């Protein structure tokens, strides 16, 4: 059985500008990880036009025009990791999650050639981020605007979301590893609900400054505890804790400006939600973040 480090980085392409940007991101990431690069094109046809034997079946890469164009563009480039080209016929939303079982990372663009231009995130990106068994990176189009005046730290930066009452060690480890490998700072974003309303003598509810200070201090304490072990194992990673009241998704999107990567987790499977789910924060970040977004499945999803 392949070990995670022996598995390739998989880049899904379809000839669109978004997928070419995702391919460039995947090339750099594979090189940084010392991994092979597997470039995959899933040729999607209408089911009634497609023979059943070809669904998700093998296709000769030489007969695939999309892969042929990419091969021509890359053949003279130096410094590439080992590259493999794979073509499949089928539904990308099904084939790509299946192929993630043989990948350490799956990379794709936010919209494919077949999607509506008005969509912020295509259906294949949603399916891959929700169903893949390896982490998935979705690369947004350039120039995605984030309406915020909040200053962001200068220099290379990885942003990771932290739910302090239920921290996901797998998501945090992915972010720490990426920051250590690239030399980036790690910004850990933890939000706490506010305002918290308190009963007054007049029958009204009102938040108090003391309560907010207590909530902020508790969140900071929990955040420090959640990252303590990873800080010790990654001593060269500079860590900034960003503690703020309100909407976690909003803070992650605001801090995605000029970031190298935003890392978020996926819901764990539970009795009340046995199927894979992205969660509202992850969906909002995928839709609106200005930086590439890595969606990391929880540990039990990869068994």
Q: What is the 3-state secondary structure (H, E, C) of the chain?
A: CCCHHHCCEEEEECCCHHHHHHHHHHHHHHHHHCCCEEEEEEECCCHHHCCHHHCCEEECHHHCHHHHHHHHHHCCCCCCCCEEEEEEECCHHHHHHHHHHHCCEEEEECCCCCCCCCCCCCHHHHHHHHHCCCCEEEECCCCCCCCCCCCCCCCCEEEEECCCCCCCHHHHHHHHHHHHHHCCEEEEEEEECCCCCEECCCCCEECCHHHHHHHHHHHHHHHHHHHHHHHHHCCCCCEEEEEEECCHHHHHHHHCCCCCEEEEECCCCECCECCCCCCHHHHHHHHHCCCCEEEECCHHHHC
pLDDT digits (tens, 9 = 90+) for 249-261: 999 999 999 999 9
Mean of the pLDDT values across residues 238-245? 95
Higher-scoring residue by pLDDT: 141, 272: 141
Which of 10-14, 60-64, 96-100, 198-202 has the least mean pLDDT? 198-202
C-alpha 10/C-alpha 99 separation (Å) is 8
- pLDDT value at 206 more than 70: no
Higher-scoring residue by pLDDT: 132, 207: 132
Report pLDDT for 197.
Answer: 53
- pLDDT value at 2 more than 80: no
Q: pLDDT exceeding 90 applies to what percent of the chain?
A: 59
Burial grade of 65 (CB within 10 A; 0-12, 13-18, 19 or more): exposed
Q: Domains in the chain, please, with CATH?
A: 4-139 (3.40.50.12370), 157-302 (3.40.50.12370)
Global pTM reads 0.85
pLDDT band at 244 (very low <50, low <70, confident <90, very high): very high
C-alpha 131/C-alpha 248 separation (Å) is 23
Report pLDDT for 3.
Answer: 55
Tell me the pairing of strands 57-59 and 157-161.
Answer: unpaired
- pLDDT value at 273 more than 80: no
Mean of the pLDDT values across residues 128-144? 91
Mean of the pLDDT values across residues 156-171? 95
pLDDT band at 48 (very low <50, low <70, confident <90, very high): very low
């Amino acid at each position: 059985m392949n070990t995670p480090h022996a598995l390739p980085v998989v880049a899904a392409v379809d000839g669109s500008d978004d997928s070419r940007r995702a391919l460039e991101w995947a090339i750099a990431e594979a090189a940084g990880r010392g991994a092979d690069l597997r470039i995959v094109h899933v040729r999607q046809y209408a089911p009634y036009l497609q023979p059943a034997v070809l669904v998700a079946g093998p296709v000769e890469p030489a007969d695939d025009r999309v892969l042929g164009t990419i091969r021509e563009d890359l053949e003279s480039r130096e410094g590439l990791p080992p590259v493999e080209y794979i073509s499949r016929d089928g539904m990308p939303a099904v084939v790509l999650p299946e192929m993630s079982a043989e990948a350490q990372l799956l990379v794709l663009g936010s919209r494919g050639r077949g999607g509506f231009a008005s969509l912020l995130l295509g259906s294949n990106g949603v399916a891959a981020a929700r169903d893949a068994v390896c982490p998935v990176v979705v690369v947004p189009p350039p120039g995605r605007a984030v309406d915020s005046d909040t200053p962001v730290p200068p220099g290379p930066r990885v942003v990771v979301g932290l739910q302090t009452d239920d921290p996901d060690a797998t998501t945090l480890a992915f972010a720490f590893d990426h920051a250590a490998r690239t030399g980036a700072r790690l910004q850990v974003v933890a939000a706490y609900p506010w305002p918290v309303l308190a009963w007054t003598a007049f029958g009204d509810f009102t938040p108090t400054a003391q309560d907010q200070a207590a909530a902020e201090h508790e969140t900071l304490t929990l955040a420090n505890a959640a990252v303590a072990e990873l800080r010790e194992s990654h001593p060269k990673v500079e860590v900034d804790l960003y503690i703020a009241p309100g909407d976690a998704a909003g803070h992650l999107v605001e801090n995605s400006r000029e970031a190298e990567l935003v890392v978020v987790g996926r819901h764990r499977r539970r009795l009340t939600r046995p199927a894979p789910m992205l969660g509202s924060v992850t969906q909002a970040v995928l839709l609106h973040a200005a930086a590439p977004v890595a969606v990391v499945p929880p540990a039990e999803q990869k068994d």
